[in-house]
Amino acid sequence: MLQRRKGLLIALLAVVCSFVLLLPALAESNVRIVRLSYIDGDAQINTTNQDDGFTHAVLNTPVTAGMWIYTPNNSHAEIQFENGSTVRMVDDAQIQFEKLALADSGGKINIINVDHGVVYFNFSKVGKDDNIIVKAGAKTIHVAKSSHFRVDASDKNVLVSVFKGDAMVDGDQSIEIKNNESVNLAAEDAKVGRGVDELGSDTWDKHRDGEVAALSMKAAPVGYGDAYSSQFGYLGSYGNYTNVPGFGWGWQPYGMGMGWDPFMNGVWNYNPGLGYMWVSSYPWGWGPYRYGAWNYVPAYGWMWMPGSSFNSWNVGPAYGAVPANWHAPTVPVVGKTPVKTVVVGNPPNVHPAILAGHPEGGSHAAVSTRAKASNNVRVKPPVATATSGAKPTSNTTATKTGTSTGAKSGAQPAHAGGAQHASGGQPSGQHMGGPPTGGGQRMGGGAPAGGHPPATRPH
């Protein structure tokens, strides 16, 4: 009996110890809302740390914990956080989002590793429970309040320049870098100096600040709240809000005809932790595809309804009322070796290499060599109608053998060979995610002839 009690006690202690070890994991969540918000030229991502990991990125790709991002020469990229804070990369630069999490207190945990290159950090609305760390070389930079600074990292130097706010560097002796101060952290006797040496890319960083502010100037009739304003504030510059009877407030992009379908052009991106995610590469294609749902309203066409809850975000297409004979794009089946990029229709703002069936990046990084050319296929759009201004594309490498009603169903593409180059798309070097270049018109006219309350998000 004594031996049995002893065994039960040991088992109980093991359970308690296991629970204690799990507490840090239970106290944090990796569900964060971070996106690749701007690409000028090329940006490449790696979610696997494997030799074939780097692929050309698509505008509005969700950025997740562990992801590497690389920009080659003559390229720029911007990553935007939930509250509008940004990380910007210039020319030959590479970073890793080592950790993106939410603490049990609600604070945001951001740990970003600068491998090399010029990177701009602009952290706004930093809360007392936030834990923001930037690693460069062997040094760790802590950000405790709103700050704007630049890191220029190479094999020999790690130059940190603060434009606004301050940053604290760990080490044998902590170093505080204040507004308009700089320091080379790689120096044996690192000393803070007054003033900031100007780089040519500083002008772009400031210009991008102005672009982001300009896009958010047109107020929306829908209250999203300060915590989510950066996710939706730009929509007023790219489309119109309309209060539709039976639906409430809905938003439509400029310049799309009645035959336009929000899911006829896009990309399925494979993420090891989340599976296949639908990515819309329209410059406005973040908020309307991550929250709420799309509904088809007679006499108006497709409209995005924001809904009332923004605590979670959509991985795949979310929709309610749909037109007759409409089908959602099929979710690719995750095979033994998942196809990383599946192109649907003729999406804009996509690197030509992706449309040509070659999404792989170069062998520029220690964590990756050249990716396989078979990681991209093209599938037919879910409907036959083409967007206004875009030509229908043919499919010679893969077929769609099923449809989806929102659930993850569908068929694996026939094979993962290279795709035919599609007409359209945005060539490398052209801006993606900047302000609109011109106005447009509403998708339809007149009052809706009918309609139904939007359905809940399909499961």
Report CA 313 to chain centroid distance, whole Å.
12
Highest mean pLDDT among 6-20, 306-320, 411-425, 429-443: 306-320
- pLDDT, residue 357, reads 73
* Residue 409 reports pLDDT greater than 60: no
Within a domain: residue 5? no
> 248-253 and 266-271: which strand pairing?
unpaired
State whether 171 and 264 are in the same domain: no
* Residue 207 reports pLDDT greater than 70: yes
pLDDT in tens, 208-246: 999 998 887 776 666 665 556 677 888 999 999 999 998
Question: Residue 55 belongs to what domain range?
Answer: 27-208
DSSP string, 236-290: HHHEEEEEETTTEEEEEETT--TT--TTSSEEEEEETTTEEEEE--STT-SHHHH
From 157, 174, 208, the end of a domain falls on 208
Task: For the chain, give the mean pLDDT.
Answer: 75
- Please check whether residue 378 is in contact with residue 397, taking contact to mean a CB–CB distance below 8 angstroms: yes
Within a domain: residue 16? no
Within a domain: residue 34? yes
Higher pLDDT, residue 390 or 302: 302
From 155, 179, 208, the end of a domain falls on 208
CATH code of residue 53: 2.60.120.1440
pLDDT in tens, 5-46: 445 444 444 433 433 333 333 334 556 889 999 999 999 999
Q: Give the whole-number percent of the chain exceeding pLDDT 70.
A: 67
Q: Give the whole-number percent of the chain exceeding pLDDT 90.
A: 51
State whether 412 and 328 are in the same domain: yes
DSSP string, 408-426: S-----S---PPPPPS---
d(Cα 195, Cα 441) in Å, to the nearest integer? Answer: 49
Residue 384, both tokens: 């036959």
- pLDDT, residue 232, reads 84
- pLDDT, residue 86, reads 96
Write down the pTM of the prediction: 0.76
* Residue 348 reports pLDDT greater than 70: yes
State whether 173 and 240 are in the same domain: no
State whether 171 and 317 are in the same domain: no
- pLDDT, residue 403, reads 30
d(Cα 200, Cα 177) in Å, to the nearest integer? Answer: 22
d(Cα 122, Cα 78) in Å, to the nearest integer? Answer: 11
- pLDDT, residue 44, reads 95
